[in-house]
A and B are shown apart, each in its own frame.
Chain A
Amino acid sequence: MALTVERRRTNRAPYLLLIPAVGILLIGMGYPVVWQAITSLQEYGLQQQFGKAAPFVFLENYIELATNASFWAVVAKSIAFCLITAVATLAIGLGLALLMNVVGKAPRLILQIALLLAWSMPVVAAMTVWIWLFDRRRGAVNYLLDLIPGVDMNRFNWLETPTTFFIVASVIVIWMSVPFVAFSSYAGLTQISEEVMEAAQLDGANGWQRFWGIILPMIRPVIAIVFLLQIIWDLRVFTQITMLQDAGSKSSEFDLLGTYIFKLGTKAQDFGMASAVSILVLAITIVLSWFYIRSLLKEDEA
Chain B
Amino acid sequence: MRARTARTIFGALAIVIAVIWVFPVYWMVNSSLLPNTTLLSFVPTFVPFGGSLNNFTAALADGEFYAALGMSVSITLIAVFFCLIFAFLGAVAISRFRFRGRKSFIIAVLVVQMLPAEGLFIAQYKMVASVHLLDSVIGVSVIYIAAVVPFTIWMLRGFVAGVPADLEEAAMVDGLSRFGAFMRITFPLLAPGLVASGVYAFLQAWNEFTVALVLLPSEAAQTLPLWLRGFVQASATRETDWGQVMAASTLVAVPVIVFFLIVQGRLTSGLVSGAVKG
Which A residues contact B (CB, under 8 angstroms)?
A: 10-11, 13-15, 17-18, 20-22, 24-25, 27-29, 31-33, 35-36, 39, 96, 99-100, 102-104, 106-108, 110-111, 113-126, 128-133, 135, 137-138, 140, 143, 175, 178, 183-184, 187, 225, 232, 235-236, 238-239, 243, 246-247, 257-258, 261-262, 265, 271, 274-275, 278-279, 281-282, 285-286, 289, 292-293, 296-297, 299-300, 302
Choose among A22, A36, A299 the residue that contacts B122 (Cβ–Cβ < 8 A).
Answer: A36
Which B residues contact A (CB, under 8 angstroms)?
A: 6-7, 10-15, 17-19, 21-22, 24-25, 27-28, 31, 39-44, 82, 85-87, 89-90, 92-94, 96-97, 99, 102-103, 105-108, 110-112, 114-127, 142-143, 145-147, 149-150, 153, 203, 206-207, 209-210, 225, 228-229, 232-233, 236, 240, 242, 245-246, 248-250, 252-253, 256-257, 259-261, 264, 268, 271-272, 275-276, 278
Assess whether A261 is in contact with B118, with CB atoms less than 8 Å apart: yes
Closest 9 CB pairs of A and B: A28-B146, A32-B123, A120-B260, A114-B18, A278-B119, A17-B93, A14-B97, A21-B90, A125-B253
Assess whether A99 is in contact with B105, with CB atoms less than 8 Å apart: no
27 contacts between A and B (CB under 8 A): A18-B90, A20-B89, A31-B127, A39-B122, A102-B10, A103-B14, A106-B11, A111-B15, A116-B260, A121-B257, A122-B253, A124-B225, A125-B28, A125-B249, A129-B27, A132-B27, A132-B245, A137-B42, A140-B44, A184-B272, A236-B117, A236-B119, A238-B118, A265-B125, A286-B114, A289-B111, A300-B106
Most buried by A among B93, B123, B259, B261: B123
Choose among A18, A117, A119 the residue that contacts B89 (Cβ–Cβ < 8 A).
Answer: A18
Assess whether B146 is in contact with A239, with CB atoms less than 8 Å apart: no
Q: Given A32-B124, A35-B127, is A14 in contact with B99 using a C-beta cutoff of 8 Å?
A: yes
Residue of B nearest to A279 (CB): B119
B252: which A residues are within 8 A, CB to CB? 122, 124-125
A96: which B residues are within 8 A, CB to CB? 17
Task: Give chain B nearest CB distance to A42 CB in angstroms.
Answer: 12
Assess whether B118 is in contact with A257, with CB atoms less than 8 Å apart: yes
B275: which A residues are within 8 A, CB to CB? 225, 296
Residue of A nearest to B9 (CB): A103
Assess whether A25 is in contact with B44, with CB atoms less than 8 Å apart: no
Residue of A nearest to B108 (CB): A25
B120: which A residues are within 8 A, CB to CB? 29, 32-33, 36, 278
A124: which B residues are within 8 A, CB to CB? 207, 209, 225, 228-229, 249, 252
Residue of B nearest to A49 (CB): B126
Assess whether A143 is in contact with B105, with CB atoms less than 8 Å apart: no
Residue of A nearest to B41 (CB): A138
Assess whether A258 is in contact with B116, with CB atoms less than 8 Å apart: yes
Assess whether A116 is in contact with B236, with CB atoms less than 8 Å apart: no
Q: How far is the CA of A104 from the CA of B256 in the complex (A)?
A: 29
